[in-house]
Amino acid sequence: MKLVVAQFNAVVGDLAGNTRRIAQIARQAHAEGAHVVLAPELALCGYPPEDQLLRPAFLAACADALAVLARELADCTGLHLIVGHPWRPAKRQAVDDDLRAASEWEPQHGPMAFNAASVIREGRVLGTYAKRELPNDHVFDERRHFRSGRDAGLGPLVLEVQGLRLGLLVCEDVWTDEPARLACAAGAQLLCVLNASPFHLGKAAEREQRMARLARAHAVPLVYANLVGGQDELVFDGASFALDAQGRVQARAGAFVEQSLALHCDAAGAPAGGVEPLPELESQA
Amino acid sequence: MRDYVGKNGFAGVIIGLSGGMDSALVLALAVDALGAARVRTLMMPSPYTADISLLDAREMAQDLGVRHEEIAIEPLVDAFAAALQPQFVGLTPDTTEENLQARIRGTLLMALSNKTGWIVLTTGNKSELATGYCTLYGDMAGGFAVIKDVYKTLVYRLARWRNRRAGPDGRAVPVIPERIITRAPSAELRPQQTDQDSLPPYEELDAILARHVEGDEAIDAIVAAGHERAVVEQVLRLVRLGEYKRRQAPVGVRITPRAFGRDWRQPITTKFRA
């Protein structure tokens, strides 16, 4: 199975531009034989959109952009695009019971959307996963802006591609144990993690260490897709990577650059690809 | 205001008076909250300052019994203009020259604050802060923005309300001269300027702002509520462009369901338009 991590510089609020960019990367990856393209957390709208997430018009525009993206890639036969986006379930959306229950309970005040990851194939949204663990510390404000998939009673999302079962997770999900445990219990053989993980000195190494522990704890390989680029006071440093089930780095994209990181995964999900070095401290700074 | 000044250990407050509505209301508030002895005012007239602005500010400060001083900024404006002349040669005067006046005033107020340890109260209202009708490091320079969450229409209402009532000291006379309330609002940064050269009428502006800022309504919803599309688009554009200024504005009192403070966390960098 061939998977491409779309490490790119999303622009907050530029739904049309981000959609175009993701479609372009996905189309290129498909032409090169990719079965899966993994875009980062909230790649569709950029991260963090902050209080724009409280505006119904913004959430509606995100839904439209997702539909445009699906249509745009409808002719890419066999391609699965996994993309992060805000998701406010429509009232009459044809969904399974769990999702219907979640959509019918919408608070009058506070957040309306999930921090979600959808799988798109041949013009259709196959499924949507809602982030369970919402960080509210440091620079994060996600309890203000999002509903948690866990609180809404939603479950893991596992998807089979080329005989390999992929489990979707979003950022903070993998800094705790439960979401990965649920995904593995649901049969995931490779964890696909969408991230918008901001930079600080030494952060890339910190991420790899934490993810290595997670991979070993569940004996599962893991792909970590991160955004790259500056947004107000935050910098996203990319340095997306893939680990085997022993937690060893098997592929890494460059830091502070856009890059499509191509991975070949064997039948057990073990990834392999190019390994860029992590920049030394002075170079990071 | 009393708590912010008191709890942070400031002996008093400094207000830049313009002779206009906003600084007059802030002065009235400051004297009510702190007493005249802890308030001083500074008027910094330019050639664009109307005589009645000077007179009204003087009258109000005297009536309230606060220490009031005047520093004419024309020599400073001239000095800046001369220093910048080689860079500005061939360029037509624009808001740069207007903002310079505001920044000279901000510098003088901050110098006085620095020397005395008294805090500068800025006098910008919510309508201005929302639309960016204010100057960074100019009238936005200071320590506490007392009326940053008060729309201009409410500023007028509060002024009239205050004039109808006796103050804490029992003084029943109107503290804000009537002419300050009734004359057309102007930044007085160029000849014959009024706020409505740049902004829609305040009744209309504030209604649009309340829908967008507090109600999270986008253009279509505000138009559906009866506002002209071109005006709504202009206002929302100004709100968006003003974000970088608001992020650098002093803190102030929150009185609406959503002030430009902890409850307004918009990105500066965004391409989203609605």
Residue A13 contacts B, CB cutoff 8 Å: yes
Least Cα distance to A88 among A123, A64, A69 occurs for: A64
Of B216, B220, B267, the CB nearest to A49: B267
What's the length of chain B? 274
Q: Which segments of chain B have a pLDDT < 50?
A: none
- What is d(CA B234, CA B228) in angstroms, rounded to the nearest whole number? 10
Q: According to DSSP H, which parts of A174-235 are helical?
A: 178-185, 203-218
Residue B220 has a CB neighbour count (10 Å cut-off) of 12
Q: Could you give the number of structural domains in chain B?
A: 1
DSSP single-letter state for residue A35:
S
How far is B37 from A36, CA to CA, in rounded Å?
A: 72
Catalytic status, residue A91 = no
Burial group, residue B104, by CB count within 10 angstroms (0-12, 13-18, 19+): buried
Residue A99 has a pLDDT of: 54
C-alpha B25 chain-centroid distance: 10
Cα(B33)–Cα(B3) distance, rounded to whole angstroms?
9
pLDDT the model gives residue A131: 98
Contacts of A58 in chain B (CB under 8 A): 218, 272, 274
Length of chain A: 285
Task: Dump pLDDT digits (tens) for B94-126.
Answer: 999 999 999 999 999 999 999 999 999 999 999
Is A50 within 8 Å of B274 when comparing Cβ atoms?
no
Rg of chain A over Cα atoms, rounded to whole angstroms, equals 17
Angle at B140 between CA B138 and CA B143, to 5 degrees: 120
Q: Number of folded domains in chain A?
A: 1
Task: Give the angle B62-B63-B64 at the CA atoms, nearest 5°.
Answer: 90
- Distance from C-alpha of A19 to C-alpha of A127, rounded to nearest angstrom: 18
Q: Is B274 on the interface with A (CB under 8 A)?
A: yes
Q: Is the Cβ pair B269, A144 closer than 8 Å? A: no
CATH number of the domain within which B174 lies? 3.40.50.620
How many alpha carbons fall within 13 Å on the CB side of residue B25?
24
CATH number of the structural domain spanning residue A116: 3.60.110.10
Instruction: Give DSSP secondary structure letters for chain B.
Output: -HHHHHHTT-S-EEEEE-SSHHHHHHHHHHHHHH-GGGEEEEE---TTS-HHHHHHHHHHHHHHT-EEEE---HHHHHHHHHHHHHHHTTPPP-HHHHHHHHHHHHHHHHHHHHHH-PEEEE---HHHHHHT-S-TTTTT-SSEETTTTS-HHHHHHHHHHHHHS--TT---S-SS-HHHHHSPP---SSTT--GGGTS--HHHHHHHHIIIIIT---HHHHHHTT--HHHHHHHHHHHHHTHHHHTTSPP----SSS-SSTT----SS-----
B226, part of any domain: no
Domain range for A219: 2-284
pLDDT of A282 reads: 84
Do the Cβ atoms of B271 and A13 come within 8 Å? yes
Give the orientation angle of helix B21-34 with respect to helix B51-64, to 10 degrees. 10
Catalytic site includes residue A131: yes
Q: What is the pLDDT of residue A94?
A: 43
> What domain range is B18 assigned to?
2-195
Task: Copy the structure tokens of residue B166.
Answer: 């006796």
**Looking at the domain assignment, is residue B64 inside a domain?**
yes
Which pLDDT score is estimated for A211?
Answer: 98
The verdict on residue B85 lying in a domain is yes
* Chain B residues touching residue A15 (CB < 8 angstroms): 271-272
For residues A33 and B182, give the distance between their C-alpha atoms in angstroms, rounded to a whole number: 73
Q: How many Cα atoms are found within 13 Å in the side-chain-facing hemisphere of A238?
A: 26
Residues 6+ apart with CB under 8 A from B78: none
Residue with tokens 């993690």: A193
Contact A141 B265 (CB under 8 A): yes
Nearest to A87 by CA among A121, A53, A120: A53
Categorise residue B90: left if φ over 0, alpha if ψ from -120 to 50, beta otherwise: left
To the nearest whole Å, the CA of A125 is away from the closest chain B CA by: 24
Cβ count within 10 A of residue A226: 27
pLDDT of residue A283: 85
Contact A268, A244 (CB under 8 A): no
DSSP 8-state secondary structure symbol assigned to residue A14: -
Nearest CA to CA, how far is A158 from chain B (Å)? Answer: 32
Which residue is listed with tokens 């250990």? B9
Confidence at residue B165, expressed as pLDDT on a 0 to 100 scale = 84
**Rounded to two decimals, what is the model's pTM?**
0.87
Q: Which of helix, strand or coil describes residue A63?
A: helix
Tell me if B265 and A14 make a contact (CB, 8 A cut-off).
no
Q: What is the pLDDT along chain A (285 residues), one digit of tens a residue?
A: 999 999 999 999 999 999 999 999 999 999 999 999 999 999 999 999 999 999 999 999 999 999 999 999 999 999 999 999 999 998 644 445 555 555 455 555 689 999 999 999 999 999 999 999 999 998 999 999 999 999 999 999 999 999 999 999 999 999 999 999 999 999 999 999 999 999 999 999 999 999 999 999 999 999 999 999 999 989 999 999 999 999 999 999 999 999 999 999 999 999 999 999 999 888 888
pLDDT digits (tens, 9 = 90+) for B192-228: 999 999 999 999 999 999 999 999 999 999 999 999 9
